[in-house]
Amino acid sequence: MSTRTEGKGDARQVESRADLIAVFEQGAKPKDEWRIGTEHEKFVFRLSDHCAPSYDEAGGIRDLLMAFTRYGWEPVEEGGRVIALKGADGGISLEPAGQFELSGAPLRTIHETCAEVGRHLQQCLEVGAELGLGFLGMGFNPVAARHDLPIMPKGRYAIMLAHMPRVGRLGLDMMLRTCTTQVNLDYASEADMAKKFRVGLALQPVATALFANSPFTEGRPNGFKSFRAHVWTDTDPHRTGMLPFVFDDGFGYERYADYALDVPMYFVYRDGRYIDCAGESFRAFMDGRLPQLAGERPTVGDWKDHLSTAFPEVRMKSFLEMRGADGGPQSRICALPAFWVGLLYDDMALDAAWDLVKGWTMDEREALRLAAPRQGMQAPAPGGRTMQSLALDVLAIAEAGLNRRAAFNPGGDSEVGFLQPMWEIARTGKTLADRWLDLFHGPWGGRIDPIYEAARF
C-alpha cells in the first residue's frame, strides 16, 4: 500500500471534476517514455522461531529499516517513527503486519527491473543475516493466525483495520496475511488506456493462476491455489472486483473518475495525521460537506490518496496497476513484468490479446476470476477450454510481443527468457502452489515448517 511522505502532498485545490480527470490525462505519454514499475512484498520472519517480528523489538522492523540506510536509503517518518525508505531504486514500505515491500523505480526494460530486484534482495539477505531475519516469498502467510501478527505504526492502517470487518469477512486477512507482486504500466492516450485496462482485467485471472502461490492457512492446506486472490473476493465489494463498466462503450477517464468518487473514503491526511473518514463520500468532500472537515474542499493530493484506496483487479492512477499475482520467488518477480509488458506494450500483442477476450461476457469473466484462485491451471475458461490451454495461448502472445520489443541486455539476451518459469507452469499444469502441496503431502509428511527454508529468498 502507498506510503505518504509528510509535506509532499499535492496541495492544489480541486475546483471541478476536470481537476480529478486531469490526474489521469497527465499520465498519458508517448511510447518511448513508457516505463515499467514493479512492486513486490515478502513476509519477514525471525529465523529462530519463524514468527513475524514486531516494529519495536530488538532486531525487529524498525531496526530492519534503519539497517538499509547503509545502502543509501533515506528514512521516511510518520509521527516521529520511521515507516518507509526512499532511494534510487524507488521506495521501501511496510504493509500492516510488517510485510516488506519494494516499490521499484520506473525502468525501461525488464533486464533493469530484474537487476533492481536482485539488488534489493541481496540487501535483504545481508541485513537479515545480521538481525536473524528471513524473507518468505509467498502470497499468504502459511502459518500465522491474525492474532499472532504485529501491527505497524501507520495511521492509515489503524483506520482500515477498524473499518474492514464492517464490509467483508476477509479484509483483515488481506491486510495482515497477504503478499503480492504488482506491475505498473503506462498508456499513450485515453483510448490506449481503455484497451489495456480491458485486456488487463480480462486476463488478470490468468496471472492469478500462473502465479498461484498461497495454498496454506495456519499450517494446513486451505483448498485454494491462491488463497490471496480468494481473499479479495470478500474484502470490500465497494472497492474491489472486475469493474464491468470498463467494458462498456465509451469507457474512459471520466467514467473511472465516477467510479472512484463512489468508492467510500478511508481518511484525509492533514498536518501529519490521518483523519478517520471511513465510509464517507468524496462527492460530499467536493461540496464541502465532509463531516470531519466541514466547509473544506479536497486538494489534488487528497484525490490521489483516495485513488490509492480502491483495490480492483486493475487500478488506474496516472498509470495502470496489474494486481492479480501472488508474491513469490525472484524468478516470478521478474516474470510478472515480462508477462504484462509482452501483452500490453506491443501493439500487435495488445490487438491479439483483445481479440482473444473481447467476446467474453461479464459472467464468463467473473466465473474465471472466481475459479482461478481455487483451481489454478485446472480452472474452466470461456469457450469450453481450461485455464491451462488459455495460459499457453496468452504466453505465446506475450512472448511474441517481447520478441518484437527487442530489448536486449549487454550480453545479447532478450526479455523473453523471463517468461520461462511461466511456460513450465502452463505446459505442466502445475503451479508453485501445486508443488508445495505435493511436498506437504509427500516428503514433508504433513509438516509446514520446511516451507520456511524452501520458499525463503
Encode pLDDT of 354-366 as tens digits.
Answer: 999 999 999 999 9
SS (H, E, C) 257-293: HHHHHHCCCCEEEECCEEEECCCCCHHHHHCCCCHHH
In three-state secondary structure terms, 169 is coil
pLDDT for 49 equals 98
Give me the mean pLDDT over the 75-96 stretch: 97
132: left (phi over 0), alpha (psi -120 to 50) or beta: left
Pairing of strands 216-217, 90-94: unpaired
Distances from the Cα of 216 to the Cαs of 144, 164, 233, in angstroms? 10, 22, 17
pLDDT tops 50 at residue 337: yes
pLDDT for 291 equals 97
CA geometry: angle 273, 278, 281, nearest 5 deg: 110
pLDDT tops 80 at residue 2: no
Question: How would you class 35 by CB atoms within 10 Å of its CB: exposed for 0-12, middle for 13-18, buried for 19 or more?
Answer: middle
Give me the mean pLDDT over the 146-172 stretch: 97
In three-state secondary structure terms, 297 is coil
d(CA 328, CA 334) in angstroms, rounded, equals 10
How many percent of the chain have pLDDT more than 90?
98
Instruction: Give the H/E segment covering residue 111.
Output: helix 110-131
Question: How would you class 100 by CB atoms within 10 Å of its CB: exposed for 0-12, middle for 13-18, buried for 19 or more?
Answer: buried
| Residue pair 377/322 in contact by the 8 Å Cβ criterion | no
User: Hey, how many other C-beta atoms are within 10 angstroms of the C-beta on 177?
Assistant: 30
Spatial CB neighbours of 4, under 8 Å, sequence gap ≥ 6: 78, 156, 269, 305
d(CA 149, CA 156) in angstroms, rounded, equals 17
What's the one-letter identity of residue 384?
G
Say which residue the cell 534489493 belongs to: 120
| Main-chain phi, psi angles of 397, to 5 degrees | -65, -45
| Residue pair 426/392 in contact by the 8 Å Cβ criterion | yes
pLDDT tops 80 at residue 162: yes
pLDDT band at 216 (very low <50, low <70, confident <90, very high): very high
d(CA 122, CA 117) in angstroms, rounded, equals 9
Pairing of strands 74-78, 220-221: unpaired
Give me the mean pLDDT over the 322-337 stretch: 98
Average pLDDT, the chain: 97
Question: How would you class 82 by CB atoms within 10 Å of its CB: exposed for 0-12, middle for 13-18, buried for 19 or more?
Answer: buried
Give me the mean pLDDT over the 66-75 stretch: 98
pLDDT band at 6 (very low <50, low <70, confident <90, very high): very low
- Closest by CA to 157, choosing from 172, 177, 138, is 172
How many percent of the chain have pLDDT more than 70?
98
Q: What is the pTM of this model?
A: 0.97
| Residue pair 265/278 in contact by the 8 Å Cβ criterion | yes
Give me the mean pLDDT over the 67-93 stretch: 97
Give me the mean pLDDT over the 269-279 stretch: 96
**Tens of pLDDT, residues 87-139:** 999 999 999 999 999 999 999 999 999 999 999 999 999 999 999 999 999 99
pLDDT band at 9 (very low <50, low <70, confident <90, very high): confident
pLDDT for 3 equals 57
pLDDT tops 90 at residue 7: no
pLDDT for 243 equals 98
| Residue pair 256/24 in contact by the 8 Å Cβ criterion | yes
**Euclidean distance between the first and final Cα of the chain, in Å?**
22
17-454 fold = Creatine Kinase; Chain A, domain 2 (3.30.590)
**Tens of pLDDT, residues 231-259:** 999 999 999 999 999 999 999 999 999 99
Distances from the Cα of 49 to the Cαs of 42, 44, 138, 448, in angstroms? 17, 12, 18, 13
